[in-house]
Amino acid sequence: MTSGGNNQRRRRLGRGLLRSAAAALVLIAFGVAASAAAAAPQFNIVSQGTFPTNPPANVHYFNTIQQAVNASTSPGDYVLIEDGVYTEEVKVGPAQSGIWIRGMNRNKVILDGQWTVGNGIEINDANNVWVENLTVRNFEFGGGCPDEECGNDIWWNGREPGKKTVNAHGWYGEYLTAYTSENPSNPEDGKKGGYGIFTGSETEGEWNNIYASGFADSGIYVGACQECNATIKNAVMEDNALGYSGSNAGGKLVIERSTFAHNTVGIAPNSENPGDPPPPQDGECNRPNIEDPNPTPTISSTKVKRCTVLRGDKIVDNNNLEVPPNGSTEVAPWGVGVELPGDYADLIENDTISGNPNAGVLGFEYPNPFPLFPGAENTIDFQLAGNRISSNTFSGNGYNTSNPVPFQGDIDLFSGAGQWLNENYGFSFPATQSTNNCVVSNSFSNAAHPATFPASIQGTWSCAHNTTPNPGGGELAVDYLIGNLEEARLYREAVPPVAQKAPPEQPTMPNPCRGVPKYACPS
């Protein structure tokens, strides 16, 4: 009796499990089918050739990139661009969130601005947009369009005018080339390229295998991104005013295994006021007050956790004063590998830094706007605090001797600009707090007598100490920085900047059909 009851219960349980499993399979099958139907990607192909007849239902052909973008309205849709030179501007909006824009050959798919005013590819308030395997060239600012609004080759733009908020997330690009070059028919063309590959007011992104040259601002730029959560790797930035610029961009932001060569300045993360708010540039991990940050935070120890990292980069021969500058970059100290204007808690490690005529690394307290320039009534005295410079290889930096104040070398850290302004311009900035920067385990050009300021930079400013003092410099450092700007101005007067040459071909994506079914891939 007991045994029979158990058998009956087991049979009832078995039938229940079978019914449940069958129902689950039906639901799963239906769910997959429904999901597949809803998410079936569209493949929108841009071609300058003859369109095929009767393509598959989800494959469509267009004459222009913009037409194909407009037809891509679901996450996972692809715009696939065949070889050719396309003369158009491309706008990507919120309806295109989650799409892929991919050329079939990095060097043969070219979006050409022909030295006219405008932007190449502009992604406005759209999330998770990929741009891959193509070249954008020769879009310029001018004609009433300012250099931050035009002259950008590839621009993920999350900015909403007048607001501080980050409005988009997910900027992804690989195998991209952007450049502004000379025009043999008009020597004035090619001097007003703004930014090569640019993101602003966005978080979460990655750039890999990218190249930019010839820009009057920067080859790559990340701005207005308090907690970026982003990686830039395998980038090559040459012959720009700034190889990398990053105003008020910090938190989890890594630039690694990249090359910055023959720019006026190699890498320049910076605090900025009032542009790309909110300030400051702060590399602390998960720093407090993220929604309304203190523009001059206190870094209390050299042991602070740092998430903005320059690591394993090659930063060499940044000495090019022939690159055309714009109104912003012409007042940046030149001839520097890594420039840290008012930076907080950044980590510079395992880099090769060589051949930069004024300094390998130059960090300084940064009153911005500086009183010599308009807007000084809104000046913020950004400090240089909590940065770590470790395990880098320095050589051949600081060889320029024409600027009479002898600060040139491998590493220069300055403070005291605010006090100088108090004494000379009647400001009332509080005492300098450019403290807790530290330097350790670097290899210098002259190991016995490294060219640094302060002189005992790996002693008193060693990372073995829990705290380190202000580096000093004061009026002499201010004179040096102003002298650096004046030297650049005089050089440009004597040797006017010129448009840079077009770059050589760059490595293209190994498999441009990756993720695309064979029937939909045009290559």
| DSSP β-bridge partners for residue 359 | 336, 409
CB-side exposure of 376: number of CA atoms within 13 Å?
12
Amino acid code (one letter) for 358: N
Residue 177's Cβ-count burial label (10 Å; 0-12, 13-18, 19+) is buried
Task: Report the relative pairing of strands 352-354 and 393-395 from DSSP bridges.
Answer: parallel
Decide: 343 and 281 in contact? Cβ < 8 Å.
yes
Please report the pLDDT score of residue 436 as a whole number: 98
d(CA 182, CA 413): 37
Q: Copy the structure tokens of residue 179.
A: 């450049």
d(CA 50, CA 446): 64
d(CA 323, CA 125): 32
Q: Any idea of the CA torsion for 345, 349, 351, 357, to the nearest 10 degrees?
A: 50
Q: Please identify which residue in the block is written with the tokens 């202000």.
A: 470
Q: Copy the structure tokens of residue 393.
A: 């290889």
d(CA 174, CA 176): 5
Provide the 10 A C-beta neighbour count for residue 166. 19
d(CA 433, CA 418): 10
Q: How far is CA 53 from the centre of its chain?
A: 43
Sign of CA dihedral 274, 278, 279, 282: negative
Q: How far is CA 214 from the centre of its chain?
A: 16
3-class secondary structure, 202: strand
DSSP per position, 184-225: TTBTTTTS---EEEEEESEEEEEEEEEEEE--SSEEEEEESB
- Going by C-alpha positions, the residue among 333, 340, 346 that lies closest to residue 265 is 333
DSSP per position, 84-122: EEE---EEE-GGGTT-EEEES-TTTEEEEEEEEES-SEE
Helices 474-494 & 417-425 angle (0-180, nearest 10): 90
CB-side exposure of 296: number of CA atoms within 13 Å?
19
3-class secondary structure, 452: strand
Q: What is the DSSP letter of 518?
A: G
Task: Report the relative pairing of strands 195-200 and 152-157 from DSSP bridges.
Answer: parallel
- Going by C-alpha positions, the residue among 475, 479, 499, 477 that lies closest to residue 487 is 479
Q: Copy the structure tokens of residue 86.
A: 């396309």
> What are the extents of the domains in the chain?
41-185, 214-507
How do the pLDDT tens digits run along the chain, 523 residues long? Answer: 334 444 443 333 343 333 333 333 333 333 444 344 456 899 999 999 999 999 999 999 999 999 999 999 999 999 999 999 999 999 999 999 999 999 999 999 999 999 999 999 999 999 999 999 999 999 999 988 877 799 999 999 997 655 566 889 999 999 999 999 999 999 999 999 999 999 999 999 999 999 999 999 999 999 999 999 999 999 999 999 999 999 999 999 999 999 999 999 999 999 999 889 999 999 999 776 676 789 999 999 999 999 999 999 999 999 999 999 999 999 999 999 999 999 999 999 999 999 999 999 999 999 999 876 666 778 999 999 999 999 999 999 999 877 766 687 999 999 999 999 999 988 999 999 999 999 999 999 887 778 999 998 999 999 999 999 999 999 999 999 999 999 999 999 999 999 999 999 999 999 999 999 999 999 7
Q: Copy the structure tokens of residue 310.
A: 């320059």
Provide the 10 A C-beta neighbour count for residue 393. 15
d(CA 239, CA 318): 8
Sign of CA dihedral 323, 329, 333, 336: negative
Decide: 113 and 120 in contact? Cβ < 8 Å.
yes
Please report the pLDDT score of residue 290 as a whole number: 72
pTM value is 0.91
Q: Copy the structure tokens of residue 49.
A: 């050739």
Three-state SS for 310-344 is EECCEEECCCCCCCCCCCCHHHCCCCEEEEEECCE
Is the peptide bond prior to 369 cis by the omega test (within 30 degrees of 0)?
A: yes
Q: In residues, how long is the chain?
A: 523
Q: Any idea of the CA torsion for 428, 432, 433, 439, to the nearest 10 degrees?
A: 150
d(CA 444, CA 354): 10
CB-side exposure of 68: number of CA atoms within 13 Å?
29
List % helix, strand, coil for the chain (3-state, nearest 5). Answer: 15, 35, 50
Provide the 10 A C-beta neighbour count for residue 261. 19
- Going by C-alpha positions, the residue among 272, 262, 146, 275 that lies closest to residue 212 is 262
